[in-house]
Amino acid sequence: MASKGADVLIIGSGIAGLMAAHLLADKKNVILITKSKVEVSNSSWAQGGIAAAIGPDDHWKYHFKDTLLAGQDHHVQDHVAMLVQRAPDLIKAMKELGVPFDTTSEGEFSLGMEGAHSRRRIVHAHGDQTGRAFTDTLINKLQGRVTFVEETMALELLKQNNKVIGVRTNKGKFLANATILATGGAGQLFKRTSNVREATGDGFALAYRAGAMLADMEFVQFHPTILFTKNKAMGLISEAVRGEGAVLVDNYGKKIMEDHPQKDLASRDIVSRAIHHAYLEGREVYLDCRMIRDFPTRFPGISRICEKASIDLDERMLPVAPGAHFMSGGVWTDQCGRSSVEQLYAIGEVACTGVHGANRLASNSLLEGLVFAEAVSKDLLTQESSPVFEVIETSKVVGHIQLPSKESLQERMTEWVGIERDASSLMKMKQWLQPYLSFVKKSVFQDKEHVEMANMLLVASIMTDAAFTRTESRGGHFRSDYPVANDDNWLKKYITTSLDNKANSKNVVLGAQS
């Protein structure tokens, strides 16, 4: 199959990929590849909104402080400063681009509240359909300006002289001066998730096999309130619902978060663990939304999710359980989104820019997508494009082994590497993954289903090893054998992993790669 060339290749169509495409499209020839339809992404499902210090009582310094508190001081602070300082201007820019933000009767941005924020600062659109409003606006603006290649699965990144020069897909090769991974997260590794079906950790696996460094992979954020009925996850119930007063109660009517100073708006790891414990004790947990009078107007998307799950909205007691929501770790990047491999960039959830620390603050993820898409675009616009020639190195072995089912992986990850882990559960996971490892680290399948499964196994292994290595509890990573939070000996220590296990940054603890 003939290869196609571009200045910039973007893999993934969430907010980060679309925004980068938008900012580059007038100066560079851009191809955006997605394994599904361009409209499908975790971003398009984002409900709560996007955090920005724009209220009269707010300042980026408060947003900065809240971000550090939620993430347990595990951040790259310069990057957090960049994130929160760019937020107000980027919101204005997105408004000018046409995002239909919700406003008050005075025409100001309507500001929502979410967990661990000290102020109302969540801008939103169409109530709880903010992500869709962003992605629709960007997709519209991109028509005719970039080439969209849909239903195309990335199999491996192509390298020449240690530089990434494109990607091999199930529909041929795409060569480019620069390749941007914007592939999102890995929620599908777990039984219950808020993520789209496509979130199988592909970008982490592609980057790892290409030699890039990954960091902080032990920090998985579990969202406390996934609608959970008939033993099935039916969709996310935004934290913004608790921001409007909803309260978590058990089936005896006891308020789950009563004893915490921040009550139902404590950070997500804390609320998730409280709900997890209630279930372990045989109780059920409900989100009591009876006090929100205009629920269907304020939360039209969630109302539809409830209707689909046959939940009676008049009663407004929603059965909930925690589920995998967001990867705070990922492909380690600098302030321009550059990975440790030349000409490979990463933005959005697949990246680890250090802005989320050990636990992401609510509604900072769409923001990260925008801010780092802008940073990558600035970097790429300073580069001259030159023709990329056909690949000489072909990297990976093509092969086949019998892989386990997705469900069996999800069961085990949920039980052994879930909301609470310990050395013994992590060791069980390591042993279970062992037979597949040498194969999935180096080899590539040719069809989407097997590629996704191999990617999930590889990411599960990297996550498990990182969780095993970090012998403390911090943010989204809770070790029940090390329950005391935030051991000083681990402060600012980053667990990194790469194919050759070579760390290239200060304060790094190498993950034990089996």
Token output for 501: 């296990």
- Measured from the CB atom, the residue of 199 and 429 that comes closer to ligand SIN is 199
Q: C-beta of 272: minimal distance to ligand SIN in Å? A: 12
Task: Give the integer Cα–Cα distance in Å for 241 and 239.
Answer: 5
Residue nearest to ligand SIN (CB): 48
- Residue type at 58? D
123 binds ligand SIN (CB under 6 A): no
Contact criterion met (CB below 8 Å) for 151 and 37: yes
Residue tagged 């990057």 (tokens): 79
Contact criterion met (CB below 8 Å) for 410 and 190: yes
Contact criterion met (CB below 8 Å) for 497 and 462: yes
DSSP code of 361? P
349 binds ligand SIN (CB under 6 A): no
184 binds ligand SIN (CB under 6 A): no
Q: C-beta of 387: minimal distance to ligand SIN in Å? A: 41
Span near ligand SIN by CB under 6 A; candidates 202-210, 360-368, 384-392, 473-481? 360-368
127 binds ligand SIN (CB under 6 A): no
452 binds ligand SIN (CB under 6 A): no
Contact criterion met (CB below 8 Å) for 17 and 10: yes
365 binds ligand SIN (CB under 6 A): yes
Q: At what angle do helices 77-97 and 60-70 cross, to 10 degrees?
A: 120
Q: Please tell me the count of residues contacting ligand SIN according to CB under 6 A.
A: 9
Residue (of 287, 301, 270, 294) closest to 229 by Cα position = 287
Q: Give the chain's largest Cα–Cα span.
A: 67
Point out the catalytic residue in the list 121, 192, 242, 268. 268
- Measured from the CB atom, the residue of 309 and 423 that comes closer to ligand SIN is 309
271 binds ligand SIN (CB under 6 A): no
- Measured from the CB atom, the residue of 46 and 453 that comes closer to ligand SIN is 46
CA distances, 78 to each of 17, 74, 353 (Å): 23, 12, 10
Residue (of 290, 342, 348, 285) closest to 319 by Cα position = 285
125 binds ligand SIN (CB under 6 A): no
In whole angstroms, how large is the CA radius of gyration of the chain?
22
Q: C-beta of 94: minimal distance to ligand SIN in Å? A: 16
Residue (of 215, 208, 180, 167) closest to 12 by Cα position = 180
- Measured from the CB atom, the residue of 265 and 510 that comes closer to ligand SIN is 265
Token output for 5: 């060339």
Q: C-beta of 363: minimal distance to ligand SIN in Å? A: 4
Spell out, one character per residue from 45 to 84, where the chain touches ligand SIN: x when CB under 6 A holds, - when not. -xxx------------------------------------
CA-based end-to-end distance of the chain: 37
Q: C-beta of 392: minimal distance to ligand SIN in Å? A: 43
Sign for the CA dihedral angle at 138, 140, 142, 148 comes to positive
Q: C-beta of 11: minimal distance to ligand SIN in Å? A: 22
Q: Sort strands 344-346 and 172-181 into parallel, antiparallel or unpaired.
A: parallel
359 binds ligand SIN (CB under 6 A): no
Spell out, one character per residue from 193 to 232, where the chain touches ligand SIN: x when CB under 6 A holds, - when not. ----------------------------------------
- Measured from the CB atom, the residue of 198 and 465 that comes closer to ligand SIN is 198
Beta bridge partners of 465: none
Task: Give the integer Cα–Cα distance in Å for 80 and 355.
Answer: 5
3-state secondary structure of 96: helix
152 binds ligand SIN (CB under 6 A): no
135 binds ligand SIN (CB under 6 A): no
318 binds ligand SIN (CB under 6 A): no
- Measured from the CB atom, the residue of 42 and 455 that comes closer to ligand SIN is 42
- Measured from the CB atom, the residue of 238 and 414 that comes closer to ligand SIN is 238
Mention every residue, 6+ apart, whose C-beta is less than 8 A from residue 165: 158, 159, 175, 176, 177, 179, 343, 388, 391
Q: C-beta of 365: minimal distance to ligand SIN in Å? A: 5
- Measured from the CB atom, the residue of 239 and 465 that comes closer to ligand SIN is 239
268 is catalytic: yes
Residue 483 CB coordination number (10 Å): 11
Spell out, one character per residue from 229 to 248, where the chain touches ligand SIN: x when CB under 6 A holds, - when not. ---------xxx--------
Mention every residue, 6+ apart, whose C-beta is less than 8 A from residue 294: none
Task: Give the integer Cα–Cα distance in Å for 423 and 406.
Answer: 24
Q: C-beta of 198: minimal distance to ligand SIN in Å? A: 17
Span near ligand SIN by CB under 6 A; candidates 12-20, 158-166, 310-318, 359-367? 359-367
Residue 409 CB coordination number (10 Å): 23
Task: Please give the residues from 12 up to 51 whose contact with ligand SIN meets the rule CB under 6 A.
Answer: 46-48
- Measured from the CB atom, the residue of 124 and 173 that comes closer to ligand SIN is 124
Q: C-beta of 483: minimal distance to ligand SIN in Å? A: 25
Residue (of 128, 135, 122) closest to 47 by Cα position = 128
328 binds ligand SIN (CB under 6 A): no
Residue (of 198, 233, 241) closest to 37 by Cα position = 198
Which residues sit at the interface with ligand SIN, rule CB under 6 A? 46-48, 238-240, 362-363, 365
Enzyme catalytic residues: 268
